[in-house]
Amino acid sequence: MPTHVKRALKYRFYPTDAQAAELSRTFGCVRKVYNMALAARTEAWERQERVNYHQTSALLTQWKQTEELAYLNEVSSVPLQQSLRHLQVAFTNFLGKRAKYPRFKSRKKSRKSAEYTTSAFRFREGELTLAKMAEPLGIVWSRPLPEGAKPSTVTVSQDAAGRWFVSLLVEDPAIQPLAGNGRAVGIDVGLSHLLTLSTGEKIANPLHERRDRARLALAQRRLAKKAQGDGANRAKARRKVARIHARITDRRRDHLHKLTTRLVRESQTLVIEDLTVRNMVKNRNLARAISDAAWTEFRSMLEYKAAWYGREVIAVDRFFPSSKLCSHCGTLAEKMPLNVRTWTCDCGTVHDRDVNAAKNLLAAGLAVSVCGAGVRPQRESSRTGQSAMKQKPPRREP
């Protein structure tokens, strides 16, 4: 039987007071177990020893038997075990040089979440009931689940604004490769325009953060005036700031989802530039605008949706001179300051800077695709003709 794509569908829910208390306890226990396991593995690491998931699972059993940590028995054991599996994945990525050394979870800053597998929840007739709870969650089904879908994993979380969410991992048979149309498009990201396509189309930058900047600044000033010990008032001011941030994030994500879905459906091949956004945001003059444009999130959405629907995403090396190269005759200009938005080549062609860059990205990306370089087209480099991210097999722990 054909395998279907697994996707997580996220819904908001409104817990009862008892459910909220139970979930808050679970979040705290998950964080406690993760930090204790990380401390144990760090101590072993300093002794040049390795501790794996099975050993931390045995430690969890011992912790539950102590008087000091007996409260761990009051919550479902599945989220606690899942936190140990997440820590194992973090160490695997670290040993494979794909991530930094795992960090401890902060009570104030870390994400509040708990993951439940099939043994710890019941899903029947559109109602989801978690372990240790008598009543189902009050979920707002903003969109239907795929027909006949059975969640394999449920993740409950609470954001900084106090909103509760549940994410259900299901197989979606509706996601199938689209029919090929032979279309290819070059995509140049920017700030004045969010995207410029090689077809000449320019997509405006909604400037989500700028629209709420004054309101956000006012809320942040009010929060700054609250004394550290003023618990209730400070918490209220903090939630107000978080709600404004959440609204900005929601609008940005919604716009990017609609945009990337449209691009993937319209084109067979999509060529983008392999930008190092983490270095670009170090520019204090552009950091806020770049963060608001969310180029990294845009690329991530484009790549996973392309994988879903059988499309190809090619990333052109960031050192490729897409802006300075004439897309008509191939002449390379010596300089191209950022304030130059239109320029005339020696051949007489008048270029719009962004449209010209998108056309050059498309040509370079298609050259890579024709040569068949690399095995991961979404990470290919047009300059070297090789994969820009060479994945090394992770080292296994003894």
Catalytic residue among 115, 209, 273, 303: 273
pLDDT for 395: 40
- DSSP string for 285-353: TTHHHHHHHTHHHHHHHHHHHHHHTT-EEEEEPTTS-TTTB-TTT-PBPS---TT--EEE-TTS-EEEH
Same domain, 168 and 197: no
Mean pLDDT of 221-229: 85
pLDDT of residue 372: 52
How many Å apart are CA 212 and CA 240, to the nearest integer? Answer: 13
How many domains does the structure of the chain reveal?
2
The residue-averaged pLDDT of 66-87 equals 96
Catalytic residue among 115, 188, 274, 380: 188
pLDDT at 228: 75
Q: What is residue 394's predicted lDDT score, i.e. its pLDDT?
A: 40
In terms of domains, do 245 and 312 share one? yes
292 and 362 fall within a common domain: yes
Q: What's the rounded Cα separation, in Å, for the pair 390 and 383?
A: 15
Residues 62 and 129 in one domain: yes
pLDDT in tens, 363-397: 988 887 666 543 333 343 333 333 333 333 344 34
Which one from 22, 209, 354, 380 is the annotated catalytic residue? 354
Answer yes or no: do 151 and 208 share one domain: no
273 classed as catalytic: yes
Active site residue 17: no
CB environment 211-250: b (16+ within 10 A), e (fewer)? ebeeebeebbeebeebeeeeeeeeeebbbbbbbbbbbbbe
Residues 334 and 252 placed together within one structural domain of the fold: yes
Tell me if residue 212 is catalytic: no
Give the range of the structural domain holding residue 49, as residue numbers without chain letter: 5-172
328 inside domain? yes
* CATH number of the CATH domain containing 233: 3.30.420
Q: Kindly state whether residues 139 and 204 are assigned to the same domain.
A: no
* Domain identity same for 139 and 195: no
* Alpha-carbon dihedral angle through residues 318, 322, 325, 326, given to the nearest 10 degrees: 160
